[in-house]
Structure 1
Amino acid sequence: MPRIAMVCDFFYPRIGGVENHIYSLSQNLIRLGHKVIIVTHAYGNRKGVRYLPGPLKVYYCPILPMTDQDVMPTFLATFPLLRHIFIRERIDIVHAHQATSTMANESIVYAAALGVASVYTDHSLFGFDDLASTILNRVLQTTLSTVDAAIGVSHVCRDNLILRARLDPNRVFVIPNAVDPSKFSPDPSQRRRDRVTIVVISRLVYRKGIDLLVGIIPKVCRELKHVHFLVGGDGPKLLDLQEMVERERLQERVEFLGSVPHANVRNVLVRGDIFLNCSLTESFCIAILEAACCGLLVVSTNVGGVPEVLPVDMIMLSNPTVVSMVNCVRKAVQVDRTDAVAYEQHQRIRDVYSWERVAEETILVYEKVLCQPRRGFLERMSCYQSLNGITGFVVCCLALIVEAWVRIVERWQPFHQIDKVPDLNTRIQSNGVQHLN
């Protein structure tokens, strides 16, 4: 069984789609018999080695975040620490997540230098016409030059990643997200029968379409007197929503729940009839999957990979405009959905989306990359040189520096002097218990 290191800046106690994906995938890989560790940066007082249920071992490295829980690019400063972890845990595969994670990008470069297989999973869509995306795409082209395989959470995400990082399509796979159906079961008794409740749960930021929501809520409330809104989440756009409610005098029609812990999301969803997603860009959107699993009818913007997630009888898609979204909500309110439909919808989601399936498909990717020969120094230089132009020349110079630093660290921390964590068989035998194969 391969030993896997999941590397990302974004992990618990931060809550989000990427964090949930890493945790759920890791738990199911452990259930299938794999050794999995998480490598992330320190979160406040959460430093050092911690254990989550599974048991899932988490290395909270003493690296300070720069902004949005993303660490400052260090180029080589984190290499000795990550190398020590990879060797100590006898890691076979480094699985990095999310393009904006500095630790993820650096770990792919380190894995190639150490001769360790690497896999990358992309969770978001990025454009090509703004400065931030252009720089990020160029960085991704560099770091993914030596990656053995890449995964997109939707077909749109896969196509976007191939174009941004200029990857060989044969090395990029699609493995959708999933949901734990046991944690998102319907409960029609929690719904108000005298009104229609629309639930919104998301980070209150621009990308999630909160500006659209500010325009949608007043129009819907004016037209449909029996509709109420539940808004869960926090973020910089919360003030805009609160000002709109004060201005339109909708205090009795809109309830703000604040930040909702993921463990309580289901309790909020089952209070609603319709789930409203106003995102301006989404590669998959686990939130609409969780809502559908709780039996809600989903109304969402028709962006990114959203149309791939749910069948047409579970979701109503709209253009990302206020007028179009209001029309879509009006139609959704008129749909008559019985309690039996909610339970049937839950069962269909259970049959299609499961983390066990995601883990099994990910293992197939692991098996493919482990069968590939590891790249030597000259092969890696050839990959970096393929970037062409000044970029290729600069990256090759940086690769030479990385190789020199690897040699220095190897003399400073010899491989044989790093204490390795014994495997399960060794631990059992050391405790005087005979292991039976």
Structure 2
Amino acid sequence: MDHVSDVPYLDISDPAFSMHSEAVREARERSWFARTNYGLAVLRYAEVRQLLKNPSLSQGSARWPDHHGVHGGTFHEWWVRNLLVLEGDEHHRIRRLLTPAFTVASARRLEPAFAEVAEELVAGFAGRGHAEFVSEFSEPYAARALCTMMGLPHEDWTFIAEHANTIGLALAVSIRDDIDRIDEAVSALYEYAEKLIADRLAHPSDDIVTRLVHHSEDGDKLSQAELRNALVLMVFGGMDTTRNQLGLILRTYLHDPAQWELIAERPELARPAMEEALRVAPTTTWVTREAAESFEFQGLEIEKGTTVHLFAYASGTDPEVYPDGDTVEVTAERSPHNTFGGGIHHCIGHQIARADMSVALATLTRRLTNVRAAGGDEWLPDSGNTGPIRYPITFDAR
């Protein structure tokens, strides 16, 4: 790789590192990329969009456990075999077999059931004027929306949330400290998934799991192990990201109550409002790729094996594309953000994620007004996957 003396450096492993810092804004102004202690960080919209589809880059998370001292075990076995990190023909085949379960039509069919869950949860605290948003709404909503999608008993939501949260510890640089708990969580979800597959084989139902279990194309079907790995990924990915993202959406509009009121008046704006929050406050603050071969980009020689972080937040507020940066405007025409990734690794579940979060936002704005942070909130580090751990709020019921 060329050494350019003026290229900025960001220490992304520092617990104090923040995507919203002046350091990131200054780095983006100086250069389209920065050096980091984990490879390159791409900061601007145009370069992120191009590199998301660059065939010289592969999904860069496959070696995440090995980079942090985890070289075997149940989590490692699952991680290196799930769709998120697979490449080539194997990735194409499994994605092709999974895709029919995640269509726009599937998402729309689920919206009334998502609305029932959101309404029930808000009704549980709306009358008292205060709530702890994570434990009383975003976590149970994310888990129960997942249960709705997969056709699971809603009483299983606490089991799903507990184990998905534990697997989420694997995305931290401290993964090795928690690997025994993480391995146990994956094992528990393996067992749950295997029982679910057996049940749907014997008793088909109208849900995504049944469609995956019975779907075939030209005689090709997912194997038992591929189904199990996919179901565990659905539980982890659907739970972790939705819970975190809902907290970030709330915080975004808590800072702009006029926009919150506009969504309440015009519920059809919930979808573009959700997209605006994903642009300025994504839970997945960067998308990781790895150079599968050496190549040149924008005059920079990127060597094979280089880790490349595509910063979703920095690109989503790039003033070259979004002149008002972090300001949300739910009626504005925007260029598409990069929060769900892009290229062949574009998030397969994005249609359902968009549906459940839009429904949640529409319900919250319709039922609550004058929403304020009550203090005492706790947040995950502002890098990698971020979001609230605890978020007490006060409000008035409409």
Answer yes or no: same fold by TM over 0.5.
Answer: no
- Ranked by relative contact order (alpha carbons within 8 Å, sequence separation 6 or more), the top structure is 2
TM-score (norm 1): 0.23
In our comparison, the structure showing a higher alpha carbon Rg is 1
TM-score normalized by the length of structure 2: 0.25
